[in-house]
Structure 1
Amino acid sequence: MNLTPGGNAPVPAQELRVRITSGGQVDASAFRLYADGKVQGDADMVFYGQPRNDDGTVSLVSEGQYSTFTVALNRLKPDVQKIAFTVTCDGGQTVSGLRNLSIDVEQGATGLVSGSVELSGRQEAALILGEFYRRNNDWKFRFVAQGFNGGLKPLAEHFGVNIADEPAPAAPTPPVVTPPPVETKISLSKVSLTKEKPAISLTKRDNFGEIRINLNWHRGSGKSGFAGMFGYKGIDLDLGAFVELQDGYK
């Protein structure tokens, strides 16, 4: 049975499959709702980050453009009143860019109900596609096709899910600035122009011109020189000097 938006049809209280087909990438979610139309906790939401609820009555398998929920209506707790099925677009896109979007309810190999969304001109980023709901202890499916502004976070909060705030992005690490190569220069501070240990002192003193001579000798074993000639047995020292002045005088 093909439904138009707002249309409904009875479904058996058995394990059913809900298949969502889209012409683009979407995130499909299911919400287990109670009398107030809200969830009672995070376990009531089934999506890509939690593909199975706490009691296994709702599970999700996504493959490319197909998202398939398995719902065990016969095992839902009595206080569960609805199971809502939604899609949200990725990357800031709107549903009009999906090309096609449909929802089908199946039991085994048998198709029960279906609905196709008219996407032309729609600017919503999310849709509530359809829902199972209780009516006089029986189950029905309603094709909703209701647009919803915002992404998955506001959609989940609409159903009462407490969504943790995303952590603020870490401040980017400043790039390491490589200093430009420094031209190697000779440091003149390392070159000493002072003769710290001169072999000859160039400092003028008060006794400039005074000549001092130190004479050293040692006693030899044999007699030579003048002492050997004259037979002198003591120590005889002869000192001589040859001086030439700057004017050539000797």
Structure 2
Amino acid sequence: MTPGSNIPLTATSVTVDVSAPVRLDVSGLLLTADGKVRSDDDFIFYNQPTGAGVAYRSGGGSAPDAIVVDTASVPAQIEKIVVTASPDAAGQTFQGIEPTATVRGAEGQVLATFTPPQLGAETALVVVEVYRRNGAWKARAVGQGYANGLAGIATDFGVSVEEEPAAASPAPAATTPAPAPAAPDPRAAMSTPPPAAPPAAPQAAPAAPAPGSGKINLDKGRVSLQKNQTVSLVKGGRPLLSQVKMGLGWEPAFRGKDIDLDASVIAYGPQRNQLDSCYFGRLSILNGAVKHSGDNLTGEGGGDDEVIVVDLGRLPADVSGLVFTVNSFSGQKFTEVAKAYCRLVDAATDEELVRFDLTSAEPQTGVLMAKLIRQYSGEWEMTAIGDFVKSRTVRGMVKPGAQAL
């Protein structure tokens, strides 16, 4: 699965386990329509292993911990169960750790797997949610990270975490820096705020990203991305759900030499499965939600060489990701290309929203330029990729594109 994708659940019993190279604490929260728990009883973890239709199952150290949901026993006022994970070691982040959630049916069969992409400073994750929609149950891949641990997740979902007062201690020596206070563990001290209390402020802001990573939005205007950096297509707190244009451009690296490159986009479903591809030989896909401007045979002229128009609001619900690629059908290498770039433009205003310039090239015939991923909350995120592959056609980009999601 990819972030935001979902699968139907036909069995009444479903298990979500989360594995990683390190020991993880796995929890589940039962949420009502307002996205909050009803009481502390709706927070299920190792020290409170059973709730209304939801149970915690320990792996005993030899298997991953899991949350088990009996959908037939979940109270009617509960709309979703979120499954969270955090490293067992205090202060440890998900940097270098790739947790994988596995959704299993009643007999233990694998229904789907999900590995959240691009983790860094996060110390807790909402990994998967099991939710009710129009009387049917589904599982959705989420992958939302929190830099303030499980306490941040608990606070977001209505659990008030009571911090224990620090014990008095002598002042440390000047040469010994005082350790930063750890985020409180909501499983140690928690209570549900009274109904009159205002909702807690969101706690999901990540730590400052390292260069070339992290996530930003469009509030400050045009964004220039580095490789592997992500921008959320949100402005003023509202997701961009209008028509956008992905412009791709290039110039010959040597004067007087034409360069024939082909821009394409591959649409993927929840299982990273190819749904369709839009390129010079297929100029419209997904009932016109994605359209191609046509082939540019030389790369000459200013501005975008080829444009792919995407109507985000018209994309079918099963489209969870789009990967934009460029290929050299004639076999010319990208070391013969200068100034290759892609840019996302608001089709209504022609305002450039995001730009990614390739700063280096490799002697290959294909490049994965960028991807658009639909998030569980509905907004889209764009990530600069910039990975080179050996392929002269879009057909050869399908597998590496899926791996890049």
AA in 1 matched with 2:153: L
Equivalent position of 1:57 in the other structure = 54
Contact 2:29 2:82 in 1 (8 A): yes
* Aligned residue type for 1:123: A
Tell me the secondary structure at the aligned position of residue 155 of structure 2: helix
1:118 paired residue number: 117
Query: Alignment partner of 1:69: what SS?
Result: strand
- Looking at structure 2, the residues matched to 14 and 166 of structure 1 have their Cα atoms a distance apart, in angstroms, of 40
Matching residue's letter, 1:91: A
Give the TM-score taking structure 2 as reference length. Answer: 0.39
What is the rounded CA distance, in whole Å, between the counterparts of 1:62 and 1:138 in structure 2? 29
Q: Is the 8 A contact 1:24 1:97 kept in 2?
A: no
Are residue 102 (structure 1) and residue 91 (structure 2) matched?
no
From 27, 33, 37, the equivalent of 1:29 is: 27
Give 1:169 deviation, angstroms.
3.3
Asked if the contact 2:84–2:128 (Cα under 8 Å) also holds between the matched residues in 1, the reply is yes
**1:112/1:146 Cα in 2 relative to 1: closer, same or farther (>3 Å)?**
same
Count, aligned residues: 167
How far the C-alpha of 1:11 sits from its partner, in A, is: 0.6
Q: Cα offset for 1:170?
A: 6.3
* Residue 82 (1) aligns with residue 80 (2): yes
Match of 1:169 in 2: 167
Q: SS of 1:127's equivalent?
A: strand
**Alignment TM-score, normalising by the size of structure 1:** 0.62
Structure 1 position 58, deviation (Å): 2.6
Aligned to 2:288: none
d(CA) in 1 for partners of 2:21, 2:101 = 12
Q: 1:25: Cα distance to partner?
A: 2.2
Deviations 1:132-157 (A, max 9, x none): 11111101100011111211112111
Deviation at 1:63, TM superposition (A): 2.6
Per-residue displacement from partner, 1:152-172 (whole Å, max 9, x unpaired)? 112111111122322533658
Which one has the largest radius of gyration? 1
Residues 30-50 of structure 1: CA deviation (Å, up to 9, x unaligned): 100000001010000011221
C-alpha deviation, 1:92, in angstroms: 1.1
* Unpaired segments ≥5 residues, structure 2: 171-405
Q: Once the two structures are superposed, what CA deviation does each residue of 1:177-220 show, in whole Å capped at 9, x if it has no partner?
A: xxxxxxxxxxxxxxxxxxxxxxxxxxxxxxxxxxxxxxxxxxxx
8 Å CA contact 1:13–1:138 kept in 2: the answer is no
Partner of 2:149: 151
Counterpart code for 2:27 = S
Cα separation, partners in 2 of 1:61 and 1:33, compared to 1, 3 Å: same
Shift of the 59–28 alpha-carbon distance from structure 1 to 2, 3 Å rule, reads: closer
Determine if contact 2:53/2:75 at 8 Å carries over to the other structure: no
Query: Unaligned stretches of 5+ in structure 1?
Result: 173-250
Partner of 1:42: 40
Equivalent residue of 1:152, what SS? helix
CA deviation map 1:55-78 (0-9, x unaligned): 353333243261122110111111
Q: Distance in 1 between matches of 2:39 and 2:167?
A: 27
Aligned to 2:91: 92
Q: Which has the higher strand share?
A: 2
Any conservation in 1 of the 2:67–2:83 contact (CA below 8 Å)? no
What letter matches 2:108 in structure 1? Answer: A
1:128/1:145 contact within 8 Å kept: yes
Aligned mates of 1:145, 1:61 — CA distance in 2:
22
CA contact (8 A) 1:46 1:60 kept: no
TM-aligned CA distance change 1:111 to 1:91, over 3 Å: same
Rate the CA distance shift 1:118–1:71 in 2: closer, same or farther, 3 A. same
Q: Which residue is 1:127 aligned to?
A: 125
**Structure 1 residues 56, 166: closer, same or farther in 2, change over 3 A?**
farther
Question: Which structure exhibits the higher relative contact order, with contacts defined as CA atoms closer than 8 Å and separated by 6 or more residues?
Answer: 1
Task: Give yes or no for contact 1:96–1:122 (8 Å, CA) kept in 2.
Answer: yes
